[in-house]
Chain A
Amino acid sequence: MEASRKPPTMTKITGAQSIISSLEHEGVDLIFGIPGGAILPAYDPLYFSPIRHVMARHEQGAGHMAAGYAWATGRVGVCMATSGPGATNLVTPLADALMDSVPMVAITGQVPTHAVGNDAFQEAYTIGITMPATKHNYFVTDPDDIPTVVHQAFHLASSGRPGPVLIDLPKDVLNQETEWRPPEDLDLPGYKPTMDGHPRRVKEAIEMLARSERPVLYVGGGIIKAEASEALTRFAEMANIPVVTTLMGRGAISDDHPLCLGMPGMHGNYTAITSMQKCDVLLAVGVRFDDRVTGDPQHFAVDAKVIHADIDPAEIGKVRQPDIPIVADARRVLNQFVKAWGDRPALANQEWIDTLRGWQDEYPLFYDQQPDGPIKPQFIIEELARLTGGDAILVAGVGQHQMWASQFWKFDQPRRWINSGGLGTMGFAVPAAIGAKAGMPDELVYAVDGDGCFQMTFQELIVASAYKIPVKVVVFNNDAHGMVKQWQKLFYGSRLSSSLLNSEVVDYVKLAEGMGCIGLRAEAPEEVEPTLEKSLSIDDRPVVVEMVVDREEMVFPMVPAGGSNDQVILGPDSGD
């Protein structure tokens, strides 16, 4: 034995090492980010960490990559940025993730504590700026708090109604000495999500449904987030209730299921929209009566009794006062419904089902692809679905292409459709697709993007090339911000004020090649299939497929903003 007895020494590490160890402790395998002055200390231990880091080219890209990763995997997406502009560039992805309930943790550097408040170089009040764009945020002043803060952040991001959480770390806190200890138990006295529906409300809901003649299940993103697809499909089948799936909830029940009516809302199909207008009981689960779904809420489903189940109590009664409110996790409450329905027979609502079938036959989604005409964007979606067998993760930006993708793709499972719904963030598709592919490398990932969206974030394809994340991006070139142009044509006397994109000066194939991708182009309908086939055959690098599409094609059906869902414009010639 040694004569000298030293007291046991704790291993001293820095705050920076603690943050990386804490992320490892939470099981993080991938971070999307960009280093910079204030966050630099954290990048040093990251160099030695098993966590992979993907360096985005703009922090907005990093944020949407984390979102795409989270959407596809169901795990928490992590992004990292420096102080000031790094953090402000994350604001859009944070706001996007908050609106669409995407579990995300953002780590930002901050100027040293002593400089905070002094307009130091690259200082921004990140906590204040991101307060309304996050579920919660943390300003860390003591490196000893890091493990617990990180643990809480991951818990908040992924539980209850998921959302983004930001941790702001001053540089001196990152540099200070600390010890890494396992995080303390969660102590969040103000945060206790209600998971199970109140049994009495569930019973009332089942009784109301059992008496209904024309019920509709209105489901959305909550089903995807709660992994409730199975329970949803089971309950819909047991009770024989048709289902509409919102933009956020596409794939919650398979589009091939006879009870699935597809997407309602501004650009939903006639049957889905009208089923809600005419139903007598509307069972809303994991949805928030968004204005893009309801149109004018005064005219939305006026005769319906509403049962509204959601994990977020604030969504219940925000837009529509339900007859039966239920605060609950979507999966748990649907399982409660299954149990409460018990061995009751399915509803004898054949008349209602027949009415819906009649509408489906009479008012299908349609487009007209002429063999010698310009390429119709809808045709591309259908061809892509056919050639991939639908076996792909489909990512969209925001606008016409997004609506066509949602309308014409057949979603058969959850987490295969990724897009920006609530915030409507143009430029979402390219980085989100990269994040999805990075998280699910064995899946085929196609982004469908508009030319306007593409020009907002295409630089992230350099990341896809550099890190060998072989996403495929189909760019619909209609030389316009198409949805803006559509509104200008319909509501602003066709005055195309600043909505055209000067595509004559852009060569998407060269642009793709310039970023280390393969560039392909199709300009006529007969080129669509071989071009998509070619894109499918390339596995070793990202592919950009430019599709020169009909510039005048518009998205229909359409309920004009703020209009009544009773007045669906079915096509260009049926408007009045």
Chain B
Amino acid sequence: MARVLPLPRHTLSLVVENRPGVLARVSSTLARRGFNIHSLAVGPTIDPGLSRITVVVESEKVEQVKKQLHKLINVVKIFELEPSKAVERETMLIRISAMGTSRTEAIEVANIFKANVVDVGFNTLTFEVTGKPAKLNDLIELLRPFGVVELVKSGRIAIGRAAKSKPSRMRAVG
């Protein structure tokens, strides 16, 4: 079997008008143009008229992705967030099999990742953890031997990093 190289992932942050159907327009455009969605998170912004969609797309043609999304009338702005110049976070809820001593073992691992126990069942533990996507993946690997019963991820959200020194000229950022 031919090995298919994974497509590069890009985090796009979209400011969209807060109207019914906007998410459908965005996801439909991506599907229609053959761009894969890795994750998608949507929520309100401080301006009630605007929403934020953070979408991670897999494509070698990210410029084309951006341009096609820009054609949507309800999409106001698009930023591509470079991982090195952005804070990226995901939240994960992960339920594992854990009884007796394995419970303390699992909790020790989870503590290292600052994961909280949010639910305890007869033979399961559920952790909630927020972090960089890579960190969550590490935790999954460490918890895998216990037996992962259920895993829920939020989809990535991201924000660009602010300037670390006083800019030569102050500029308003929308």
- What is A's interface to B at a CB cutoff of 8 Å? 127-128, 131-132, 135-136, 139, 156, 188-191, 312-314, 316-318
Contacts and interface: CB of A to CB of B under 8 A. Distances in A.
Given A188-B73, A314-B64, A314-B67, A139 B17 contact: no
B151 interface: no
Contacts of A312: 71
Contact of B17 (A128, A190, A318): A190
Contacts of B63: 317
Given A189-B17, A190-B75, A128 B24 contact: yes
Given A127-B21, A139-B20, A314 B28 contact: no
Nearest to B71: A314
Contacts of B74: 190
B67 A136 contact: no
B25 A131 contact: yes
What bracket does the count of chain B residues touching chain A fall in? Answer: 20 to 34
A371 to B, nearest CB: 53
A317 B65 CA distance: 11
Contacts of A318: 64, 67
A190 B76 contact: yes
Contacts of B64: 314, 317-318
A189 B71 contact: no
Contacts of B77: 190
Interface in B117-165: none
12 contacts: A127-B21, A131-B24, A132-B28, A135-B73, A139-B20, A188-B73, A190-B70, A190-B77, A314-B64, A314-B68, A314-B71, A317-B64
A136 B74 CA distance: 9
A190 to B, nearest CB: 4
Given A128-B24, A132-B28, A139-B21, A313 B73 contact: no
B76 A189 contact: yes
A156 B74 CA distance: 12
A190 B32 contact: no
Sorted nearest first, the 5 A-B pairs with minimum C-beta distance are A314-B67, A190-B76, A136-B73, A189-B76, A190-B75
A160 to B, nearest CB: 9
B72 interface: yes
Contacts of B21: 127, 131, 139
Contacts of B24: 128, 131
Nearest to A318: B64
A190 B73 contact: yes
Given A190-B76, A190-B77, 17 more contacts: A127-B21, A131-B21, A132-B32, A136-B73, A156-B73, A189-B17, A189-B76, A190-B70, A190-B73, A190-B75, A312-B71, A313-B67, A313-B70, A314-B64, A317-B67, A318-B64, A318-B67
Interface of B: 16-17, 20-21, 24-25, 28-29, 32, 63-64, 67-68, 70-77
Contacts of B25: 131
Given A127-B21, A131-B24, A314 B76 contact: no
A316 B61 CA distance: 12
A170 to B, nearest CB: 13
Contacts of A139: 20-21
Nearest to A128: B24
A312 B67 CA distance: 9
A258 to B, nearest CB: 37
A316 B24 CA distance: 25
Given A131-B24, A139-B20, A139-B21, A314 B70 contact: yes
Contacts of B73: 135-136, 156, 188, 190-191
Contacts of B32: 132
Contacts of B28: 131-132
Contacts of A314: 64, 67-68, 70-71
B22 to A, nearest CB: 10
Contacts of A127: 21
A105 to B, nearest CB: 14
Nearest to A191: B73
Contacts of B71: 312, 314
A317 B25 CA distance: 23
Contacts of A156: 73
B61 to A, nearest CB: 9
Nearest to B31: A132
